[in-house]
Amino acid sequence: MRHLLTLLLILSVPLQATVPPARIEAVIDDVYSFLSESGDVDYDDLQERLLSIAEQPINLNRATCDDLSQLGFLSDKQIDDILLYVYRHPMDSLYELQLIGSLRDYEIRNLMPFVCAGPVEKDSVSLRDVFRYARHELTARVDGRYMEDPRRDKQNDAFYAQLRYRFRYQDKVRLGLTVQRPTGVQARDMLYGGYFQLKDIGVLQTFVAGNYQASFGQGLVAASPYRFGKSMYVMNAATAPEGLRYHSSASFESLRGAGATVRMGKWDVSGWYSFLQPNDTLRHHLVGVNTTYKRGNLKIGVTLTENLYSDSVRYYFAKAAYNQNYFRGDKQFVGGLNFRYRIGMADLFGEAAATQNLKEWGYGVITGARLNPLSGLGLILLYRYYSPRFDNTQGYAFSETSRLNDENGLYAGIDIGLLRHWRFAWYGDLFRFEGVKYGIKYAPSWGYDTMSDMEYLPDDDWRTDIRLRARQKGDKANYSLRCGFTWEQGNWRTVTRAEGSVARTAQDKPTYGYSLTQDVQYSLSHAPVTLQLRLQGFRATDWDNRIYCYENDVLFAFSIPALYGLGGQAYLNMRWQIIPQLGLYLRVSEKVYAPSWVHSRSLPAKTRTDVHLLLRATL
């Protein structure tokens, strides 16, 4: 019976197993558009992760929870349902995804480029296979910028260069090296990075060396910046891939050292060490350990870290009121207990942590529940409390601010997809600060953040969405509206987006901002070339009205600038696959500000021209 249903789905539904590169990039663009309102995501790592997975898709018949959680846009409920389906009967075709009730049509379309339904191969690794079937990749990128501004500091070099090598055998062996010349006055200081990772080899679950990330529980003790905050992926709030994992960046956003995880029955034991030198005077040593017990639907973990600094941590604005509760000292211990328990339609999770700061103990708690009473209906409720003395520089948990310090909040969300072509999502967040926060003139203070999004997706050709958001923090309030329309047909794809915002304070008059964006993408029929053009105009009368908008770039690059002032921009992206093993990527952009606005507001330049070039060779 199951095979008959699979055959009927294959014959009746126009899903394609072979996905063109332009479609993969379109899916990634959609993911970014949902996350553009969230400041808690490591976009660089997320983009490279999705592109890497698209090149070697996840085999659902042997996938794990950690594998699928790397995608980011799947909820925990959807991941559990996929794994349960495969456990009962391995997939013969990706069209069987439509038999999983929690996956809607548009989610299946987004999932298709990153998964496959292949045979379960024997779990063994030999050096001969590693070097024979491994994938090699070499990319060279050069950026240049010209700004029409005679006041510009000539030492602020605007030339950027990067050389990267990647080695990958399935998902078991990875190696990467990066050499990067940054822009700015520190351009003479080259950045170097690299990583090596082994995965799922005997009892060794993971081994990493070089640049890597450590993330466990809800992130109060150890976490990577890749963690979903408040976005229209409502059910994914406070989730992130757990464990040790390589990091491709050459910056100080990652740990540098080595770590390993071993699996012994129902126990996973992880240990890691990191050494960082963020400046010429400060050296940072970190030692961490995690023990996680898994049995059925229950998971309990303990995470401990010790931070040792060569000197006491100081801040540039030492007398500022907002940072008086931040960590100060030359060593910091952080310990926490986390859990997750799934029972019926409920998924319960949480973490409690403690640390010593300024000779006092600080405490942090985050707990919540996800409910799925019906297929296509999801509810989430999350509470967090971070005491004024709780401050962990290595933690990235759900929070209104970028710092886990002095916050008390309640978050609720709902995701409705009961109708076939409609989707509605909403979240609301109430929070309170006891002490002074950056940008708020008084204490204690409170605020709220609420967003709703409605999408209409009648078929594969087009869709439209409307998003409303209202925020208030202290005496500042901001209201925004975004409307979008996407149309795809054959080799064409267009995206039209309009956005407006109004900001006000109790003392000042309301200010406003708006932008209008038009994207056109075309893939040539008789040549492996894809062109993408963007035209955009914007006006933001105040910094509080700034508009963030995701911009496409060359491969493994992107930008989400804050549009402020009066002006417009245009850019053209080209992707040319010269031969199967060699690709060329080019971006030319021009941003122009109105002369009157530049003179009155002292913006950096009248015009800015950027040229980005990337060559990619694979074998």
DSSP string across 448-512: EEEEEEEEE--SSSEEEEEEEEEEEETTEEEEEEEEEEEEEETTEEEEEEEEEEEEEESSS--EE
Residue 494 and residue 583 in one domain: yes
**pLDDT tens digit sequence for 531-557:** 999 999 999 888 888 888 888 888 888
End-to-end CA distance of the chain: 43
115 and 137 assigned to the same domain? no
Give the pLDDT score at 281: 79
Spatial separation of the C-alpha atoms in residues 373 and 380, rounded to whole Å = 11
* CA-based radius of gyration for the chain: 24
What's the pLDDT tens digit per position in 279-300? 777 889 999 999 999 998 899 9
- Most confident among 90-104, 211-225, 590-604 (mean pLDDT): 211-225
Q: How does 340-376 read in b/e, with b if 16+ C-beta sit within 10 Å?
A: bebeeeebbbbbbbbbebeeeebebbbbbebbbeeeb
Q: Is there a contact between 29 and 50 (Cβ–Cβ < 8 Å)?
A: no
- Contact assessment for residue 227 and residue 213, using Cβ atoms and an 8 Å cutoff: no
Do 74 and 108 fall into the same domain? Answer: yes
Burial class (CB in 10 A: 0-12, 13-18, 19+), 244: buried
Banded model confidence at residue 6, pLDDT cuts 50, 70, 90: very low
pLDDT of 247 above 50: yes
Mark whether 90 and 182 lie in a shared domain. no
Can you tell me the distance from the alpha carbon of 123 to that of 130, in angstroms, rounded to the nearest whole number? 13
User: Residue 483's pLDDT is what?
Assistant: 94
**What mean pLDDT comes out for the span 205-229?**
86
pLDDT band of 95, cuts 50, 70, 90: confident
Instruction: State the pLDDT confidence band at 3, using cuts at 50, 70 and 90.
Output: very low
Q: Which of 86, 102, 119 represents a domain boundary (last residue)?
A: 119
Domain boundary among 64, 95, 119: 119
Three-class HEC string of 252-282: CCCEEEEEEEEEECCEEEEEEEEEECCCCCC
Pick the most confident of 109-123, 241-255, 437-451, 556-570. 437-451
Total domains present in the chain: 2
Whether pLDDT at 616 is above 90: yes
In CATH, what number is assigned to the domain containing residue 581? 2.40.160
Quick one: 43 and 163 in the same domain?
no
The per-residue pLDDT for 371 is 92
Q: Which residues of 301-311 are buried (b: 16+ CB within 10 A; e: fewer)?
A: bbbbbebebee
Instruction: Indicate if 602 and 489 belong to the same structural domain.
Output: yes
1 within domain boundaries: yes
**Orientation of helix 43-55 relative to helix 21-35, angle to 10°:** 150
pLDDT at 257 over 90: yes
The yes-or-no verdict on residue 303 having pLDDT over 80 is yes
Residue 600 is assigned to a structural domain of this protein: yes
Considering the domain boundaries, does residue 49 fall inside one? yes
* 364-385 confidence digits (pLDDT tens): 999 999 998 887 889 999 999 9
Q: Is the dihedral of CA 119, 168, 575, 69 positive or negative?
A: positive
- pLDDT, the chain, mean: 84
In this predicted model, which residue has the larger pLDDT, 220 or 359?
Answer: 220
Residues 89 and 25 in one domain: yes
Span 433-448, mean pLDDT? 88
Lowest-confidence segment of 141-145, 151-155, 495-499 by average pLDDT? 151-155
User: For residues 362 and 79, what is the distance between their CA atoms, to the nearest angstrom?
Assistant: 35
Paired tokens of 555: 């491969």
**DSSP-derived 3-state class of residue 7:** helix
Structural domain that includes position 35: 1-119
Q: Is residue 155 scored above 70 in pLDDT?
A: no
Q: 425 lies in a domain?
A: no
Q: Which of these three, 92, 119, 146, is where a domain ends?
A: 119
How does strand 331-343 pair with strand 346-357?
A: antiparallel
Provide the pLDDT for residue 334: 95
Q: Are residues 544 and 612 in the same domain?
A: yes
Residue 191 inside a domain? The answer is no
Q: What is the pTM of this model?
A: 0.85
The answer as to whether 217 is a domain residue is: no
7 has a pLDDT exceeding 70: no
Write the DSSP symbol of residue 114.
G
Does residue 579 share a domain with residue 484?
yes
Position 394 pLDDT exceeds 90: no
Residues 19 and 154 in one domain: no
pLDDT at res. 14: 37
User: Does a structural domain hold residue 326?
Assistant: no
- The residue whose two tokens read 């998003």 is 467
Q: What is the DSSP letter of 383?
A: E
Q: What is the pLDDT of residue 17?
A: 42
Which helix or strand (DSSP H or E) is residue 29 part of? helix 21-35
Does residue 18 surpass a pLDDT of 60?
no
Whether residue 293 is contained in a domain is answered as no
Do residues 314 and 327 lie in contact, with contact meaning Cβ atoms separated by under 8 Å? no
Contacts of 579-582 with CB under 8 Å at 24 or more apart are 581/617, 581/618, 581/619, 582/615, 582/616, 582/617, 582/618
What is the pLDDT at residue 374? 84
> What whole-number distance in Å separates Cα of residue 471 and Cα of residue 430?
10
For the stretch 175-200, pLDDT in tens is 999 998 887 655 567 888 899 999 98
Q: What is the dihedral of CA 456, 458, 461, 463, to 10 degrees?
A: 0
326 in Cβ contact with 252 (< 8 Å): no
Query: Are 157 and 121 a contacting pair, CB within 8 Å?
Result: no
What integer pLDDT is reported at residue 77 of this predicted model?
80
User: Is the domain of 507 the same as that of 617?
Assistant: yes
17 and 80 in one domain? Answer: yes
Looking at per-residue confidence, does 515 or 11 come out higher?
A: 515
The predicted structure's pLDDT at residue 279:
73
